[in-house]
Structure 1
Amino acid sequence: MDFTFTPEQDEAAALAAEILTDKTGTDRLKAVEAAGDRFDRDLWADLASAGLLSLAVPEQHGGAGLGLVELCRVLVEVGRTVAPVPLAVHGAAALLLAELGTDAQQSAWLPGAASGTSVLTAAVAEERTHLPVRPTVTAASGADGWALSGSKAIVRAGTVADLLLVTATTPDGVGVFLVDATAAGVERVEQRTSDGDVVARVDLASAPADLLGTADGEAAQRLGQLLTVCSVAEQLGVTQGALALTASYAKVREQFGRPIGTFQAVSQRLADGYIDVLGQRLTLWHAAWRLAEGLPAEVEVATAKLWAADAGHRLAHTTVHVHGGVGIDLDGEAHRYFTTAKRFEFLFGGATEQALAIGKVLASEPV
């Protein structure tokens, strides 16, 4: 079996690495954060110009016609540079729309998603809940179509998004609905996460909506898996970046007349971090490949998220501990890796919840 990436996948990652390395850095990140909403619109435009926002969009709608693995390769680079762009949710939403959308739905939103003029996001989390909990947002069908009522929380890029993919409960089950973020009945309230990102609480009051696919729960499950894998890919980049930054610091920071990287305790923590990254990488690409091929992937996605949560926790703390006081200095780089890794640790369920999900599946299988 050949486990190597295709030339297209390698080229997408290399192009993303070139742009993101050139367009990010401590000074630029500070400037973006000072602007208020932690969304680098110039970088977003650069990614769009390079075709990196269109990877999941079919060619007939102005995209590259590629898929999830290519998107994840780019997301690793986004995480490695802790770039302030919402590509993970944008890409996952575009993928689902490309898979399940009608011609009219795709024509309305995918060209803008490919060009970067429209930002797509997913509203799935609710207060004290996360996928796959049955949503309290409800969908009602009438003469004018579907209407949604209820609230979603911690919607990434929710304040700047043009289209929301919202999970909601219908009489037939759980469905995914397309909601124009500027439509009547949609109110967005700014929230902030612990890493400084600006998200939104979305309040829906009979907001007009368009059903994506069917309301039997399959679209909602697919959306949850795509969002989770995309977040795992970004987390892999975060831990890779944190490990590289910390290893470099350990080579130049001296104590007692020698680099701290030569001390056994420090070198062992960095070695453990390297193994953690390898585990993340293996489980991510296994889950991404199965999803891309349309194969059952419930356990694989949960396993990848379990590794991302555990490894993210350990490497976040290793980064701060090895850096010492510099690790929490807001003028430095290390703190961003810590806060971002901790955020992705719990996004869509932490390690305990993933282990419970895996155990539930294993317990249901015949001996």
Structure 2
Amino acid sequence: MDFHPTEEQSAAAGLAARIFRDLATHERLAAAGTGSDAELWKALTSAGLTAAVEEVGLLGLVLLLEEQGRTTAQVPYAATCAYGILPVAAHGSPAQRAALLPALGSGEAVATGAFPGHGRITATPDGRLTGTAPAVPWLRDATHVLVPDARRALWLVRTDAPGVTTSPVETTAPWSAGRLTLTGAAAERLGGEDAYERVLAGARTAFAGLQAGVCAGSLARAVEYTSTREQFGRPLSTNQGVMLRAADAYMDTEAIRVTAYEAAWRIDQGLGAREHALTAAWWASEAGKRVVHTGQHLHGGMGADLDHPVHRHFLWGRQLDAYLGCGSALLAELGDTLAATQEESA
């Protein structure tokens, strides 16, 4: 198992870091409100960083999403790649790949997913979908939504199709989310019976990578603040309590990162990865929550300022915790998966 990035993955991550650093500034994020930054999205797609995901794979995407998370950049990058480019590339028909991949890569089309499904959507044999997904991330930007039905089949739905209604929903983080209502909407089937589990594992891994970046960015801000803020004539960072909390946050961030890397590597290699993706999601949910709380607490009174940049990391970390699923539910699913694996091998 080799987590070292390839030359192409390193180059893509470096370019993404530069674009996010230059354009996802505190001032631009504040001006964007709860919407997406259209100029930043154009910069990413023009640089080929969306289309490149098909080549750099899921591990490459995790590296790219870490850079997005460090700056909490408000663009539909994670959703378009995890629910658009990678699923269509892996499970789409030749016609679907030809029609969608160029458009997704150029930014002409934007994808998201109504995940997790929880059986809210039903489908007729001829692909007519009915049901509601209460909060879909980046739905307000999306042209296409990947929808799992109650039988765990996957369907592609256009947001401008008859029978599709979207309405804005505000979530903890400003993710341009929306409520998706389907009333006999026409859809295209994507992939076979195993597509749902594979896409879900990939999405969990991708969003865990995003959380690793959110946590790294929060911790970096806390380190900078406590190293320059003095109390009783010395920097806050010299206090043992501060050092211990920062060290714990660092270890939690590394645990999120390495479990996401492992799950992504296994998926890229075509190996079984359901339990590995669940492990990454659990670390991202449980440890991510701890890290962003620590980042805010180490800022002292400044951490209570809703306009401070560290508060945005707090909101993203809590949103990702909720989106990936609470720790107890993920552990229960992981336990069921491991038990089923043991029964099959017995």
| TM norm structure 1 | 0.90
Counterpart among 135, 159, 167 of residue 154 in structure 1: 135
The amino acid across from 1:138 in the alignment is: T
Instruction: Provide the secondary structure at the position in 1 that maps to 2:90.
Output: helix
The amino acid across from 2:292 in the alignment is: A
Aligned to 2:144: 163
State the Cα deviation string for residues 114-150 of structure 1 (Å, max 9, x = none): 00111011112xxxxx45x4x1311112xxx411011
Relative to structure 1, the CA distance from residue 335 to residue 88 in structure 2 (aligned partners, 3 Å threshold; closer, same or farther) is same
Aligned to 2:220: 244
Structure 1 position 138 matched with structure 2 position 122 = yes
Counterpart among 93, 97, 108 of residue 106 in structure 1: 97
- For 1:80 and 1:239, the matched residues in 2 are separated by 7
Aligned to 1:234: 210
Which range moves more in the overlay, 189-198 or 224-233? 189-198
Aligned to 2:23: 23
Aligned to 1:67: 57
The amino acid across from 2:181 in the alignment is: D
Structure 1 position 52 matched with structure 2 position 49 = yes
User: 1:184 touches 1:207 (CA, 8 Å); kept in 2?
Assistant: yes
Q: C-alpha displacement at 1:43, in angstroms?
A: 0.3
The 5-angstrom pairing of residues 284-363 of structure 1 reads: 284-363=260-339
Q: C-alpha displacement at 1:348, in angstroms?
A: 2.7
User: 2:285 touches 2:324 (CA, 8 Å); kept in 1?
Assistant: no
Q: C-alpha displacement at 1:254, in angstroms?
A: 1.1
The amino acid across from 1:102 in the alignment is: S
Structure 1 position 79 matched with structure 2 position 69 = yes
Q: Which has the higher strand share?
A: 1
Instruction: Provide the secondary structure at the position in 1 that maps to 2:324.
Output: coil
State the Cα deviation string for residues 16-40 of structure 1 (Å, max 9, x = none): 001110111111111111xxx4201
The 5-angstrom pairing of residues 276-291 of structure 1 reads: 276-291=252-267
Structure 1 position 202 matched with structure 2 position 169 = no
Q: C-alpha displacement at 1:285, in angstroms?
A: 0.5
Instruction: Provide the secondary structure at the position in 2 that maps to 1:174.
Output: coil
Percent identity for Structure 1 against Structure 2: 37
- For 1:28 and 1:223, the matched residues in 2 are separated by 32
Instruction: Provide the secondary structure at the position in 2 that maps to 1:109.
Output: helix
User: 2:253 touches 2:288 (CA, 8 Å); kept in 1?
Assistant: no
Moved over 2 A (4+): 195-198, 361-364
The amino acid across from 2:229 in the alignment is: R
Q: C-alpha displacement at 1:196, in angstroms?
A: 3.3
User: 1:328 touches 1:334 (CA, 8 Å); kept in 2?
Assistant: no
State the Cα deviation string for residues 198-235 of structure 1 (Å, max 9, x = none): 21111000001111112x3x111122112111110100
Count the aligned residue pairs.
Answer: 342
Q: C-alpha displacement at 1:84, in angstroms?
A: 0.3
Instruction: Provide the secondary structure at the position in 2 that maps to 1:341.
Output: helix
The amino acid across from 2:322 in the alignment is: F
Counterpart among 120, 130, 137 of residue 111 in structure 2: 120
- For 1:92 and 1:362, the matched residues in 2 are separated by 25
User: 1:56 touches 1:98 (CA, 8 Å); kept in 2?
Assistant: no
The amino acid across from 1:273 in the alignment is: A
- For 1:101 and 1:343, the matched residues in 2 are separated by 30
User: 2:5 touches 2:60 (CA, 8 Å); kept in 1?
Assistant: no
Instruction: Provide the secondary structure at the position in 1 that maps to 2:165.
Output: strand
Q: C-alpha displacement at 1:2, in angstroms?
A: 4.3
Q: C-alpha displacement at 1:249, in angstroms?
A: 0.4
- For 1:29 and 1:347, the matched residues in 2 are separated by 21
State the Cα deviation string for residues 134-190 of structure 1 (Å, max 9, x = none): x1311112xxx4110111121111112111111113xxx321001111000000011
- For 2:44 and 2:120, the matched residues in 1 are separated by 36
Q: C-alpha displacement at 1:236, in angstroms?
A: 0.3
User: 1:239 touches 1:311 (CA, 8 Å); kept in 2?
Assistant: no
Aligned to 1:127: none
Name the structure, 1 or 2, with higher relative contact order (CA <8 Å, separation 6+): 2
Aligned to 1:60: none
Aligned to 1:61: none
User: 2:3 touches 2:262 (CA, 8 Å); kept in 1?
Assistant: no
Q: C-alpha displacement at 1:328, in angstroms?
A: 2.3
Q: C-alpha displacement at 1:90, in angstroms?
A: 0.5
- For 1:278 and 1:204, the matched residues in 2 are separated by 40
* Unaligned residue ranges in structure 2 (runs of 5+): none
- For 2:329 and 2:227, the matched residues in 1 are separated by 37
Aligned to 1:191: 169
* Unaligned residue ranges in structure 1 (runs of 5+): 58-64, 125-129
User: 2:82 touches 2:206 (CA, 8 Å); kept in 1?
Assistant: yes
